[in-house]
Chain A
């Protein structure tokens, strides 16, 4: 197994009462699998991802990577953030080279590896530009190149295309699928777009509203490349939609209640 969540529970101390974000999550993700975590805001899907990245330690339970408990962040589980998190004071090239330099690779090897990745993500002409000069889609390509530079067996993606316009999003989804097919990495992808999940995933994990737990573990068997206009795609979208919207309503009700309680 690439990733195993064993009874993962997470509670955060907010202002006032502690918030139970995750109830108890058991989930195994196989090597090379593309898994989407799907659910409304506040269902703990990002928390689950942060635990897998090693940014937080679960309050209860543990997360294993290839059988070993995760102690902290590591380049073998590369994270792609919704906000890109590119270092604005580094050029595109320097951003992509960051992890390689941290690993202490020799400059010659770094140069060839960076050039190779920039070419793969069609970023070569932006090599010397600052992140601020790039569109959102290009920035996210740089961020993907930056984690791929270290050749991680596992990619963790936290709503990576959530801030992009619909067309850019489609084009990045396609590129990601291509990369995944080519490189055979395990991908854990957080999203709240049902269509995105069906388009990308081998397996969709629908999560409940807070405290989050696995509501439905669903294999997507549609052949790739998938077509959103395909009736089978639509049927699955309907089914998933009902599951997710029930949780969305629970989320909205809880939000209303918390305001009347104040």
Chain B
């Protein structure tokens, strides 16, 4: 218990120091609030952003009212896009990566194309995305899917091709059909790589969703940050950024747990 408190104290030391410094600079008037509002102002703005904007009127359910804050609405919108886009990217990349990892000829065939497309940042597709899908959610989901697609594809491919051939020989020797070998040997054997691809893919999806919302959509955290800039609400910009950080952290922690569960057999995962 004591060591936990210690760890917490050490972890909080740096953020507290920064906040104190930041508050000091603002209190001394070295910067205008428009360039950098004080952390307290940002905190208050964040609360205002989270809490419902209207007083409870009794017509709706209490829970609906409690969740009607602008931030929750925006975060929900962003998360929904990330999940949809990531889902599309994942569903396309995983089977393709598995097949290409297992089939050297297909890999040779598709590799040049992939190597050219892979380095193009999803952001560069924005104009095309708008031309193809118009405005709103479809181009955003397209861009996020694209951002998640390549890391998952590349990692799945690498994962499948690094599965030790001795496992394949053992499985064939035990009479497993190609389908069973694929599902029970190649897929789990590639899992450590696939999961690290998924993690990178989610990171990219998050990056892309913010940019996509700044351009094609009119809600979500990205949109809100850009909107706040137009009104010079610097405190709201920073409150939005912090929210993005917190959600990212939450997703990463959830991924960590998923990793631990799926790779519980793996060396070094205790």
Binding site for B on A (CB under 8 A): 53, 55, 72-75, 77-79, 81, 83, 85, 87-90, 98-99, 101-103, 130-132, 146-147, 150
Our pick among B174, B185, B188 for the contact of A99 (Cβ within 8 Å) is: B174
Contacts known (A55-B169, A79-B169, A85-B167); A99 close to B175, Cβ less than 8 A:
yes
- Asked if B191 is at the interface of the complex by the 8 Å CB criterion, the answer is yes
Q: A150 near B175 (CB under 8 angstroms)?
A: yes
Our pick among B166, B174, B265 for the contact of A75 (Cβ within 8 Å) is: B174
Our pick among B170, B174, B175, B265 for the contact of A89 (Cβ within 8 Å) is: B265
Q: B265 near A90 (CB under 8 angstroms)?
A: yes
Query: Please, which residue of chain B has its CB at the minimum distance from the CB of A89?
Result: B188
Query: Please, which residue of chain B has its CB at the minimum distance from the CB of A146?
Result: B174
**Count of chain B residues with a beta carbon within 8 Å of a chain A beta carbon:** 21
Which 9 pairs across A and B sit closest by C-beta, in order of nearness? A99-B174, A89-B188, A75-B175, A85-B170, A73-B172, A102-B176, A89-B265, A85-B166, A73-B173
Apart from A89-B189, A89-B191, list 14 A-B contacts with CB within 8 A: A53-B169, A53-B173, A55-B172, A87-B170, A87-B184, A98-B174, A98-B184, A102-B174, A102-B175, A102-B180, A132-B267, A146-B174, A147-B173, A150-B175
Q: B173 near A83 (CB under 8 angstroms)?
A: no
Q: B185 near A87 (CB under 8 angstroms)?
A: yes
Q: Which residues of the other chain, A, contact B7 by a CB distance below 8 angstroms?
A: none
Residues of B216-270 contacting chain A, CB below 8 A: 264-267
For the complex, what is the distance from the CA of A74 to the CA of B173, rounded to whole Å?
A: 5
Q: Which residues of the other chain, B, contact A72 by a CB distance below 8 angstroms?
A: 172
Contacts known (A79-B170, A85-B167); A98 close to B265, Cβ less than 8 A:
no
Binding site for A on B (CB under 8 A): 166-167, 169-177, 180, 184-185, 188-189, 191, 264-267
B186 CB to nearest A CB, Å:
11
Query: Please, which residue of chain A has its CB at the minimum distance from the CB of B172?
Result: A73
27 pairs from A and B in contact (CB 8 Å cutoff): A73-B172, A73-B173, A75-B173, A75-B175, A78-B173, A79-B170, A81-B166, A85-B167, A87-B170, A87-B188, A88-B265, A88-B266, A89-B189, A89-B191, A90-B188, A90-B265, A98-B171, A98-B184, A99-B174, A101-B180, A102-B174, A102-B177, A102-B180, A103-B175, A130-B265, A132-B266, A132-B267
